[in-house]
Amino acid sequence: MYAKLRLYILVTLIMGLGIGLILYKHFALGFPLLPDDKKSVWTIEAKIDFTARGDPIIVSFALPQETPNTVFIEEDFASPDYGFSELTSPTGRRAQWSKRAASGSQTAYYRLSIYEIDPITTPPITADLPPEPVKPEFDEVHKTAAITLLDQVRSKSANTEIFTRELITTLNSSAPSQNQSLLLNEQSSEDYKTHLIINLLALEGISARIVRGLYLEDGRRRQSLTNFVEVYIGSQWLLFNQKSGDRGKPENFLVWQRGDQSLLDVVGGKNSQISFSIIKNVHSTRNLVVRDSMNKQAGLVDFSIYSLPIEQQNAFKMILLLPIGALIVVIMRLLIGIRTSGTFMPILIALALIQTTLLTGIIIFLTVVGTGLLIRSYLSRLNLLFVARISAVIIVVIAIIASISIISNKLGIDQAMTVTFFPMIILSWTIERMSVLWEEDGPREVFIQGGGSLLTAVIAYLFMTNRTIEYLTFNFPELMLVNLALILILGQYTGYRLSELYRFHSLERRDVSGKR
């Protein structure tokens, strides 16, 4: 009983570890559980144009910051003959291009690829209390208008959030009152309106700042940044759309820059312009996550199969499927009770079937084994020593395989050429054993065991070629632990095999009649 308890504890540990690692990879690292999981990757290109005057040039450009729900895949900076550096300051990252002298029209490019993820918990963006906003200077007329407007809005709102929303909607209303028209002025450019909102909020004693961002839409060119207002409410910054007053970050919106720093500074140039173009690509989530985790050096991924060269990875793709085959064999033998020739030969046949495709593989297998048995029966009359005979069978098998390849090539059946993927030594051994079985136990046993092997191989093949299983075994090698735990449990199974329900069925029948 003690041994049993120990085994169950072991099984629970292995199972727990395996499932735990899988869940960690899924939730913390973002590995999808299904192979078809796709994500949109946005590639944003910022193009900076300006005319140089022949003086030294410094171009400084604000760059976006990575957040918990956006992942930057790669960033490129391009501009011919310019020196480049990336500067990080508390207010944000900036790219700086510089050159001693240039003239004529100049262009600099910045390209960024990102995708969005859903982190398990969105950490609340808490921020320290900003300094009391400086009361803005308004001239007398504007000040009166502003105070009137603020009074009006304040009377309609209960807290800062509603106040802000109300203020923005009032400023955007289609039928503006006199005060609003006065404040908005004729020149209501985007930036002017943003600053007006910030100033009005400052007059009310509310801290606010400008946020510039980009709406991500596929195939857009010549886009510019959109202004948002971020307001400090209850120890965090909340984002407001300055056109609608809606709170929160809209979908597919990339925050580019926060605060009042300029987006672009060009020293030594004029007519500077910036435009963005956006392209959407769909990538498999798994590839993105693997690349990202490798970049971040997440231990679980860094010390994994992904760190191997591609060729070895492909080999492992196959190797990691073997435990699935082993599980199938265990189930077939212990639960179903199917007899196979050679314990794990079915797995090897299944591996060959993966290379040849199912139907071709089965036909080739039957042809090779059938022909082999015929020739083997002749060899048995030659009175050979055992080792010599099985070696002869190996050569015969190779000859059969070669002929199948050549004949099928001549006939134009390409699939049959894959015959070389069958493990020849194993095939020879199978032929030898089946031949002996035939002599000793008769053809019936040969068909039972041969059929059992083939059936097990086909079932293992179906599981091993399942896209989802293939994906899971390769990307979650921890699954092997779960598999191991299952096999350990199955190793404890002492109930009847399905085949025994048939084997002993006569007992049941007679009992019923006996009782009658």
Partner 1 sequence: MFLASAKKLRSFGIIGMNQRNFGLISRYNPRHLYPLVDDKLKTKLLAQKAGITVPKLLGTLQYQHDVRLLKEILRPYDQFVIKPVKGSGGKGILVITEHDHNLYFKPSSDAIQLADIERHVSNILSGLHSLGGKPDTVMIESLIQLDPVFSDYSYEGIPDIRIIVLKGYPIMAMLRLTTHASDGKANLHQGAVGVGIDIGTGNALHAVQYGETVSHHPDTRKTFSELAIPHWDKLLQLAAACYEMTGLGYLGADLVLDRDQGPMIIELNARPGLSIQVANYAGLAPRVAIIEALNTIDPDPQLRAAFSKQQFSVDSGIHPPRLLHTRSGDPKP
Other CB atoms within 10 Å distance of the CB of residue 207: 18
How far is the C-alpha of 293 from the C-alpha of 300, rounded, in Å?
Answer: 9
Contact between 503 and partner 1 per CB under 8 A: yes
Contact between 498 and partner 1 per CB under 8 A: yes
Contact between 495 and partner 1 per CB under 8 A: yes
Buried/exposed code over 333-342 (b: 16+ C-beta within 10 A; e: otherwise): bbeebbebbb
Which DSSP symbol is given to 126? B
Contact between 508 and partner 1 per CB under 8 A: yes
Residues 387-416, one symbol each (x = binds partner 1 by CB under 8 A, - = not), give x-----------------------------
Contact between 27 and partner 1 per CB under 8 A: no
CA 383 centroid distance within chain: 61
- Crossing angle of helices 358-379 and 345-356, in 10° steps, is 130
Contact between 447 and partner 1 per CB under 8 A: no
Residues 314-333, one symbol each (x = binds partner 1 by CB under 8 A, - = not), give --------------------
Residue 87 or 498: the one with the smaller Cβ distance to partner 1 is 498
Nearest partner of 157 among 174, 169, 145, judged by Cα: 169
Judged by CB under 8 A, the stretch of 70-78, 172-180, 221-229, 507-515 that binds partner 1 is 507-515
Contact between 310 and partner 1 per CB under 8 A: no
Q: What is the 3-state secondary structure (H, E, C) of 168-207?
A: HHHHHCCCCCHHHHHHHCCCCCHHHHHHHHHHHHHHCCCC
Only one residue has tokens 């190779």, namely 398
Shortest distance (Å) from residue 493 CB to partner 1: 6
226 DSSP β-pair partners: 213
Residue 303 or 504: the one with the smaller Cβ distance to partner 1 is 504
Judged by CB under 8 A, the stretch of 138-146, 195-203, 416-424, 494-502 that binds partner 1 is 494-502
Among 282, 310, 385, 411, binds partner 1 (CB under 8 A): 385
How far is the C-alpha of 232 from the C-alpha of 127, rounded, in Å?
Answer: 9
Among 383, 410, 411, 412, binds partner 1 (CB under 8 A): 383
Judged by CB under 8 A, the stretch of 218-226, 247-255, 383-391, 480-488 that binds partner 1 is 383-391
Contact between 8 and partner 1 per CB under 8 A: no
Nearest partner of 193 among 153, 142, 243, 151, judged by Cα: 243
Judged by CB under 8 A, the stretch of 289-297, 318-326, 391-399, 433-441 that binds partner 1 is 433-441
Q: Report the C-alpha dihedral over residues 177, 182, 183, 187, rounded to 10 degrees.
A: 120
Residue 86 or 511: the one with the smaller Cβ distance to partner 1 is 511
Contact between 505 and partner 1 per CB under 8 A: yes
Q: Is 272 helix (H, G, I), strand (E, B) or coil?
A: strand
Non-local CB neighbours of 123 within 8 Å, separated by 6+ positions: 68
Residue 6 or 503: the one with the smaller Cβ distance to partner 1 is 503
Residue 186 or 508: the one with the smaller Cβ distance to partner 1 is 508
- Residue 231 φ then ψ, to 5°: -115, 140
Among 202, 300, 334, 469, binds partner 1 (CB under 8 A): 334
Shortest distance (Å) from residue 337 CB to partner 1: 7
Only one residue has tokens 């022949």, namely 54
Contact between 506 and partner 1 per CB under 8 A: yes
Residue 308 or 489: the one with the smaller Cβ distance to partner 1 is 489
Buried/exposed code over 167-179 (b: 16+ C-beta within 10 A; e: otherwise): bbebbbeeeeeeb
The Cα-based distances of 112 to 44, 70, 116, 257 in angstroms read 5, 12, 13, 14
Pair 196, 189: CB distance under 8 Å = no
How far is the C-alpha of 467 from the C-alpha of 345, rounded, in Å?
Answer: 23
Contact between 4 and partner 1 per CB under 8 A: no
Shortest distance (Å) from residue 501 CB to partner 1: 4
Residues in 87-126 that interact with partner 1 by CB under 8 A: none
Residue 305 or 330: the one with the smaller Cβ distance to partner 1 is 330
Shortest distance (Å) from residue 380 CB to partner 1: 8
Judged by CB under 8 A, the stretch of 110-118, 210-218, 255-263, 492-500 that binds partner 1 is 492-500
Buried/exposed code over 301-319 (b: 16+ C-beta within 10 A; e: otherwise): beebbbeeeeeeeeebeee
Contact between 1 and partner 1 per CB under 8 A: no
Among 246, 445, 469, 488, binds partner 1 (CB under 8 A): 445
| Binding interface with partner 1 (CB under 8 A) | 334, 337, 383, 385-387, 436, 440-442, 445, 492-498, 500-511, 514-515
